[in-house]
Structure 1
Amino acid sequence: MAFALGPRATSAGYRLAAFDQVGSTNTEAMAHARSGEPGSTWFVTTEQTAGKGRRQRAWIAPRGNLASSVLEVIDVPPATAATLGFAAGLAIASALQQVSIEANLRRAGSDPLKFQLKWPNDVLVEKQKLVGISLEAEAVAGNRLAVVVGIGTNVVAAPTGTPTPAISLAALGVHVGAEELFAVLSDAWVEFRGIWDNGRGFAEIRRLWLARAAGLGEPVAIQTGTATIAGTFDTIDEGGCLIVRTAEGKHLPIAAGEVYFGSAASVGAA
């Protein structure tokens, strides 16, 4: 089966560049942006050999997994563009919910698979990482911002030795190809990108994201460089920062860091 856009993405004018194998879909997307690509283009592969995730960690997609990056060239400030990652989380979570219907029917007597969003940009299921999301932004001609949203999904295999234990769709009993998942994701992206509306709709994105948030109301520890902040995951604010409520009742905004929830929070804070 070859990669193809979903019908909604096609109607919205998105374009597609598919690779049998590529070093990094993010790198390809940004290179096209620098060359004048106007955006609204997906770059996808089932085998990525040299990708980078958050904090420059290796992001390798063995054959059968889905490495996908969407390029949007937009007129927004970088701080606003950063909130597009929350729309991406909602899009892939929605796509995963759709392709998991059959697997959930087979889970008679068990709770259906629940895809949760871990701040700032992971998708978890059963407390294990299924999807990683990264954002890159760079100024391009015309005073516009090229934003590349990378979405990597463990379809057939998951890495080992990761900070958060990882799992694949196959291990969850969801038997779907990367190509089928991508078609559904491309349509879901149109929906949530539209709600986000260049940041104007972030209040609704925030509401929908919090409804799927992992660890909301639970103990949390965030490592930010050499410091660790511990408390309760209270909410995310209008800029997408995680708000920690400390034992003293203070509300601290966190813009970036490694997050540990629940019992892992005490480990992260150690």
Structure 2
Amino acid sequence: MIPPIDLLDDIDSTNAEARRRAEAGDPASRWIVARRQTAGRGRRGRAWDSDTGNLFATLTLLTQKSPAEAAQVTFVAALAVADLLEAFAAPGSVSIKWPNDVLLAGDKAAGILVESGGHPAGGLWLAVGIGVNLAHAPDGTERPATCLKAHLRSDVAYPPSVEAAAGVLAEAFAAWQARWETLGFQPVLDVWTARTRGLDGPCVARLGHETVSGVAEGVAPDGALRLRTADGSLRLISAGDVFFGEAA
């Protein structure tokens, strides 16, 4: 079942609105979509550029899963975003970068931010925040960014509207969520791995308190990055800024 979509003209942040609704006790699963955000956020508290014409969406969920298991939803979200972009982008241009950036021709086109907390009715609320550069890409980012408009298929003249993109995303997410709920995480992880680049080469992971370099050796069963360091030890990286194809 595809949750309803609430389309708003203007809001501070779709994730912030999802948090407000969840903490007020709203148990409903729904998409909160905005044409414009005034205080969008990315990972690690970074500002998320919010040009009109791009997609800003958050899915609210109530789950009885443990926090560790619920965190797998970020892989579900990445696959849904990849499906959205593949519906309009040039063939072969879409890929995923661990853990949840979606790329077009190697440049970042979308990001995902999952937040959670205890729900008044019990269980966890999840806010699956998704930003997709449909028509514009931000300047001055640490790594190059792009937008769908720059990578459309030859038979597609314009990127989808916010409404159309939200509909495609909601349908794709529901399909991957159903697979996750019925078959477990491994089938989701297998497809995610097949779409993800850089999992078998040099990389650098910035973890806030330290920087670790080595060679990526795929992912663990829970989706953590397996990083073999120069001294031969194996590090499991669950979150961080990871740059593939680079060595310290």
TM-score with structure 2 setting the length: 0.93
Mapping of residues 1-270 of structure 1, within 5 Å: 12=1, 14-100=3-89, 104=90, 112-173=91-152, 175-176=158-159, 177-197=161-181, 201-262=184-245, 265-266=246-247, 269=248
Q: Deviations over 1:201-244 (max 9, x none)?
A: 11111101100112121211101123221122211112221111
CA-CA distance at 1:46 after TM superposition: 2.0
Which residue pairs with 1:3 in the alignment? none
The structure-2 alpha-carbon separation of the partners of 1:196 and 1:236, relative to structure 1 and needing over 3 Å to count, comes to: same
The secondary structure found in structure 2 opposite 1:86 is: helix
Number of residue pairs aligned between Structure 1 and Structure 2: 243
Aligned residue for 2:199, secondary structure, equals: coil
Aligned counterparts of 2:2 and 2:196: Cα–Cα separation in 1: 31
CA distance in 1 between counterparts of 2:13 and 2:46 reads 13
* Letter of the 1:32 counterpart: R
Instruction: Supply the AA of the counterpart residue of 1:92.
Output: V
- Alignment check: 8 A CA contact 1:75 1:145 kept: yes
Superposition deviation, residue 13 in structure 1: 5.2
CA shift at 1:160, angstroms? 1.2
Amino acid aligned to 1:43: I
1:122 deviation in Å?
Answer: 0.6
Please give the alpha-carbon distance, in whole angstroms, between the structure 2 residues aligned to 1:130 and 1:13.
Answer: 24
Q: Distance in 2 between matches of 1:30 and 1:192?
A: 23
Determine the C-alpha separation between the residues in 1 that align with 2:2 and 2:200: 40
SS in structure 2 at match of 1:37: coil
SS in 1 for 2:10: coil
Query: How far apart, in 2, do the equivalents of 1:201 and 1:163 lie?
Result: 35
Structure 2 unmatched runs, 5+: none
Runs of 4+ in 1 over 4 A off after TM superposition: none
TM-score by length of 1: 0.85
Deviation at 1:248, TM superposition (A): 4.1
From the two aligned structures, give the one with the greater helix fraction. Answer: 1
Q: Is the 8 A contact 2:113 2:129 kept in 1?
A: yes
Give percent identity, aligned residues only. Answer: 37
The two structures, once aligned, show a CA RMSD in angstroms of: 1.6
User: Which residue identity is paired with 2:198?
Assistant: G
Q: What do the CA deviations read for 1:132-180 (whole angstroms, capped 9, x no partner)?
A: 0000001012321000000000011111111221001112236222221
